[in-house]
Structure 1
Amino acid sequence: MATAAETRAMRRAIELAAHGLGHTSPNPVVGCVILDAHGDHAGEGWHRRAGGPHAEVEALREAGDRARGGTAVVTLEPCNHTGRTGPCSQALIAAGVTRVVYAVADPNPTATGGAAALLAAGIDVEGGVLADEAAAGNEAWLTSVLRHRPFVLWKYAATLDGRSAAADGTSRWITSPESRADVHRLRAGADAVLVGSGTARADDPHLAVRHRDADDEVTQPLRVVLDSGGTAVAPGARVLDDAAPTVIAVAQDADTAHLAGTGAEVLRLPRAADGRGLDIAALLRALYERDVRSVLLEGGPTLAGAFLAAGAVDKIVSYLAPVLLGDGPAALADAGITTITQALRLEVTDTVRLGPDLRITAVPSALPTDSEEN
Structure 2
Amino acid sequence: MTTAPEMTISAAERTALRQALAGAARFAGATSPNPPVGCVLLDENGAVLAEGFHMMAGEAHAEAIAIASARALGVAGRIHTVVATLEPCNHHGRTPPCSDAILATPARRVVIAAADPNPAVRGGGAARLKAAGLDIVLAADHPELRAESLAARRLIAPFAKHARTGRPWVTVKQAVDEAGGMVPPPGRKTFTARSSLLLAHRLRRRADAILTGSGTVLADNPEFTVRHVADFPGKQRFLALLDRRRRVPSGYIEAARARGFTVLRPADLDDALALLGARGALEVLVEAGPSLTAAVLDAGLADEHVLITKGNPDHVAITHANPEFDAVKAPGEEQ
TM-score (norm 2): 0.85
Residue number in structure 2 paired with 1:282: 271
What letter matches 1:174 in structure 2? F
- Work out whether 1:97 is the aligned partner of 2:110: no
Query: Unaligned 5+ residue runs, structure 1?
Result: 251-268, 270-277, 323-354, 367-374
**1:168-208 alpha-carbon deviations (Å, 9 max, x no partner):** 87653321233222211110111111111110111111111
Q: 1:104 to 1:365 in 2, by over 3 A?
A: closer
1:59-70 correspondence runs (5 A)? 59-64=66-71, 66-68=75-77, 69-70=79-80
Counterpart-to-counterpart distance in 2, 1:221 and 1:26: 12
Q: Which has the larger radius of gyration?
A: 1
The Cα of 1:217 is off from its aligned counterpart by: 4.4
Residue number in structure 1 paired with 2:220: 203
Residue number in structure 2 paired with 1:188: 205
**Pairwise CA RMSD of aligned residues?**
2.1
The Cα of 1:220 is off from its aligned counterpart by: 4.6
The Cα of 1:57 is off from its aligned counterpart by: 0.4
The Cα of 1:53 is off from its aligned counterpart by: 0.3
**1:289-346 alpha-carbon deviations (Å, 9 max, x no partner):** 1110000000111111222233211111111113xxxxxxxxxxxxxxxxxxxxxxxx
Q: 1:178 to 1:23 in 2, by over 3 A?
A: same
Q: Greater helix share, 1 or 2?
A: 2
Q: Which stretch shifts more, 172-181 or 185-194?
A: 172-181
Q: 1:365 to 1:122 in 2, by over 3 A?
A: closer
- Work out whether 1:156 is the aligned partner of 2:184: no
- Work out whether 1:179 is the aligned partner of 2:196: yes
Runs of 4+ in 1 over 4 A off after TM superposition: 168-171, 236-239
CA contact (8 A) 2:238 2:264 kept: no
The Cα of 1:222 is off from its aligned counterpart by: 2.1
Q: 1:219 to 1:105 in 2, by over 3 A?
A: same
- Work out whether 1:358 is the aligned partner of 2:324: no
Residue number in structure 2 paired with 1:133: 151
**1:33-68 alpha-carbon deviations (Å, 9 max, x no partner):** 000233211010100000100000011011125344
- Work out whether 1:231 is the aligned partner of 2:188: no
Counterpart-to-counterpart distance in 1, 2:130 and 2:76: 18
**1:206-244 alpha-carbon deviations (Å, 9 max, x no partner):** 111111249x74725322211112222432457524222
| Equivalent residue in structure 1 for 2:26, among 19, 23, 48 | 19
CA contact (8 A) 2:44 2:81 kept: yes
The Cα of 1:110 is off from its aligned counterpart by: 3.7
- Percent identity of equivalent pairs: 38
CA contact (8 A) 1:315 1:364 kept: yes
Residue number in structure 1 paired with 2:126: 115
CA contact (8 A) 1:78 1:114 kept: yes
CA contact (8 A) 1:53 1:85 kept: yes
Q: Which gives a bigger RCO, structure 1 or 2 (Cα 8 Å, sep 6+)? A: 2
Residue number in structure 2 paired with 1:76: 86
Counterpart-to-counterpart distance in 2, 1:59 and 1:183: 32
Residue number in structure 2 paired with 1:43: 50
1:1-20 correspondence runs (5 A)? 1-20=8-27
Q: 1:283 to 1:237 in 2, by over 3 A?
A: closer
| Equivalent residue in structure 1 for 2:164, among 141, 146, 168 | 146
SS state of the match for residue 76, structure 1?
Answer: coil
**1:141-162 alpha-carbon deviations (Å, 9 max, x no partner):** 2232233210000001111110
Counterpart-to-counterpart distance in 2, 1:237 and 1:285: 21
Query: Unaligned 5+ residue runs, structure 2?
Result: 1-7, 140-144, 324-335
The Cα of 1:133 is off from its aligned counterpart by: 1.8
Counterpart-to-counterpart distance in 1, 2:110 and 2:18: 15
Counterpart-to-counterpart distance in 1, 2:107 and 2:152: 22
Counterpart-to-counterpart distance in 2, 1:146 and 1:297: 21
Residue number in structure 2 paired with 1:332: none
CA contact (8 A) 1:37 1:67 kept: no
The Cα of 1:283 is off from its aligned counterpart by: 1.8
